Structure 1
């Protein structure tokens, strides 16, 4: 007995389909073979009765109707083997019979009235009233000068034919049963070939659900089952990788938090003890302020990422002068670049004022993070170039190109993943590029990274532009809103949240 499940359903469905098909075939076969046998018998008798009707014209010239042997000769002349021959008058009364049985009543089966009416080879199938035997009778009128004089009626038993038909039916049912059994066995094998892999996949996925992500689905499965197994294995692999990245992140963020906290704690305890001159006190307070800002930055980065993951990031939408934004970013990082003797350049190939619609502070966060990374991972006495160019479909492309250490091909596809860090010793949370990617997408833009190890990195950001007239209109509306104490609320198409 197959237990409940997909296996039983497969076997049951196969069984039902094949059973119904065989039942239909068996029914059609039985009807066709029965019809064939009955029609063969009827055609044989009908042809003979037609010959008898034609020959009767000659018979009446050879034998006189008043001759005592008239009906005897008629029976002998028109007889047919394995068939009872009856000679009836035009009233249906039996005048002679090859069985020498004289019926007391007229024959009233449907073939006789039809023959009286002149129908050639009229047929009736039914059971004999006296014996209950299934018979076929064929009646044909015998005419003399256009007048129905007699009726020749042939009666043959169908019991032997039915017996042969029953044997054929039993034989065909046996074949159908064998086919059904074979198909059932085949369907059980097919069901097992499907259910066993599913059970294996289910067992492994249950272990994964309990947190055992080191297990894998083994087996060379084909088609959808193979794809499902590969997907689950890939999922487990990605979960392991994500857990490893998360663990690395926790370790990294713990270190990042401990360092400024240690500095703050140390200088606060030192300053509390007193006895320092104003210069030393100023240095200590400065360090505390610097480390506090560093802590705030780390916490804000984590909060931003959390908001993005929960789709709770709100953007203050307005028009943004892209060139002014990039120049402001260059001023913000100029001192850091000067310390490492890195040259910053802005190359505006558009030669026009470019406006994008979005949140200026968030766009600044994106570009500032990318330029800061470029400085962090560039060698001394190198350069970083910000290239602005117009693209088709009213878009602007900003490329941040550096000649730094570059990123290996192995790490290039992962740098935008959350918590991923190429160099764990470089500090940070590994969330900067992931946040930047999502912020660019919120502005209906696209961010790509191209890099070659030892050569440098190019980060490309594609953003939609707004026309100058639209920008002026937004500025005018924004100024009016500001005068009224309202926030500028530009609403472009796209998945952007608003405050």
Structure 2
């Protein structure tokens, strides 16, 4: 038995054992006090009564006369040993009629002469037997002349107390054994789910991401099981996303490389004699190279975001300048694909504090996606709205739209959903992170078959001098 189970059982058992021992001690003390207290009270009452009687009716008797009178008037039912002592503790006469001449120097004798009453519980110096003795002074004409001592054996009381204590110890032992058994059951109920969690975690560590922990109870361990299962689901999703990403990136890398290699071999074998074919091949190679560069840049950006190394080089500028540059950049693509690109810029400046390169990257990525998914004859519109603190830039297209199932996930890393368009699945994720770093908001809305609207909300800066 190791670990938490052992600690729970041992700690719980030790605490319970200490409690039982404490209760046993209190119980023994209470029983001992009750038995001996009752016996002492009875003996004191009898001694006081008889001593007062003797002192009252034999006040003119000397000690030896008192002793004979006491011997003559002892009840036959009296089971205590009665002794008459002189002031030195010497036995003048006892209830058996003997003059032993032994000296009794137990504390009760001196206490009786000093304070009028004495009680002693302990071993008899003569018999070595445990006794209980009560002493009171005998008087002659008002002066102490001796001591009347009552004594009984305390061993029957000790035996009775010991017997009751044994019964109590037996009950305590049963309680401790039962408590240990109960603590073992409780420990198993606590440790069992944890062991199951450990097994599931071990399976996950070996690559089995389908492992799940069963929630047994609605407590902290049950909450831990739920959290573990949620983590397992997220890991499974990320693992699947990683596999999809590797497959997608492999395909994305292979396609342009195949085109580059194919055209390279064609140009080499053709000897560069056909000028038109050579130019076409070089154009394809250039475009495919640009695709590769874009893919690698996205991967590099993703790596920087993961490691927290992205730093913005912000400056104050007019957001209209960036949007105008992007419009000019996509003007040729708009004509080639027969897609109308409308960029509505306000007449007044839009001062923002941004990293111009990163901000341009955001809108280039958004417009690139819009052109990918908008068929010929469609429209892409860039609209702006401002208030006192923010500017909203919306990129709206009339493309195929995004399905409701894919919409909540389009900004997740590597997620491509049902799309068959080329790409790494990192574009929108990178855009969202860049907007967040600028203190803005990133929103995506879409209707299947009608188009998609991506909105970037940025905080406005103070007015720019000279604009």
TM-score (norm 1): 0.82
2:58 counterpart SS class: helix
**How far off its partner does 1:182 sit?**
0.9
2:148 counterpart SS class: strand
Question: Relative to 1, partners in 2 of residues 1:451 and 1:172: Cα closer, same or farther, differing over 3 Å?
Answer: farther
2:411 counterpart SS class: coil
- 2:418 paired with 1:420: no
**How far off its partner does 1:298 sit?**
1.2
- 2:123 paired with 1:127: yes
Give a deviation string over 1:361-414, Cα, whole Å, max 9, x none: 1122123223332343346534534334347xx555544455554433432332
Q: Which one of 112, 117, 122 corresponds to residue 114 of structure 2?
A: 117
Question: Relative to 1, partners in 2 of residues 1:452 and 1:181: Cα closer, same or farther, differing over 3 Å?
Answer: farther
Q: Which one of 91, 95, 98 corresponds to residue 98 of structure 1?
A: 95
Question: Relative to 1, partners in 2 of residues 1:47 and 1:320: Cα closer, same or farther, differing over 3 Å?
Answer: farther
Q: Which one of 187, 199, 210 corresponds to residue 206 of structure 2?
A: 210
- Specify the alignment match of 2:14 in structure 1: 16
1:328 counterpart SS class: helix
Give a deviation string over 1:438-491, Cα, whole Å, max 9, x none: 3233334443434444455444444444434xx66xx9xxxxxxxxxxxxxxxx
Alignment of 1:62-461 (within 5 A): 64-65=60-61, 70-75=66-71, 77=73, 81-120=78-117, 122-143=118-139, 146-218=142-214, 220-272=216-268, 273-274=270-271, 278-337=275-334, 339-346=337-344, 353-356=350-353, 358-378=354-374, 380-390=377-387, 396-402=391-397, 404-454=399-449, 456-461=451-456
Contact 2:315–2:356 (CA under 8 A) maintained in structure 1: yes
2:97 counterpart SS class: coil
Measured in 2, the distance between the counterparts of 1:69 and 1:146 equals 16
2:406 counterpart SS class: helix
Contact 2:383–2:395 (CA under 8 A) maintained in structure 1: yes
Contact 1:342–1:375 (CA under 8 A) maintained in structure 2: no
Contact 2:378–2:399 (CA under 8 A) maintained in structure 1: no
Measured in 1, the distance between the counterparts of 2:453 and 2:222 equals 39
Q: Which one of 3, 15, 33 corresponds to residue 35 of structure 1?
A: 33
**How far off its partner does 1:76 sit?**
5.6
5+ residue gaps, structure 2, are none
Contact 1:385–1:401 (CA under 8 A) maintained in structure 2: yes
1:99 counterpart SS class: coil
Contact 1:26–1:173 (CA under 8 A) maintained in structure 2: yes
**Length, aligned pairs only:** 462
**How far off its partner does 1:59 sit?**
1.7
1:148 counterpart SS class: strand
Measured in 1, the distance between the counterparts of 2:455 and 2:425 equals 19
TM-score (norm 2): 0.87
Question: Relative to 1, partners in 2 of residues 1:177 and 1:68: Cα closer, same or farther, differing over 3 Å?
Answer: closer
5+ residue gaps, structure 1, are 476-499
**How far off its partner does 1:55 sit?**
3.2
Contact 1:384–1:403 (CA under 8 A) maintained in structure 2: no
**How far off its partner does 1:117 sit?**
1.0
Question: Relative to 1, partners in 2 of residues 1:467 and 1:186: Cα closer, same or farther, differing over 3 Å?
Answer: same
Deviates more, 1:289-298 or 1:315-324: 315-324
Question: Relative to 1, partners in 2 of residues 1:227 and 1:450: Cα closer, same or farther, differing over 3 Å?
Answer: farther
**How far off its partner does 1:355 sit?**
1.9
Give a deviation string over 1:294-314, Cα, whole Å, max 9, x none: 221111111211222222334
**How far off its partner does 1:289 sit?**
1.7
Contact 1:378–1:402 (CA under 8 A) maintained in structure 2: yes
- The Cα RMSD (Å) is 3.1
1:19 counterpart SS class: helix
Give a deviation string over 1:327-355, Cα, whole Å, max 9, x none: 33333334444535345344769x66322
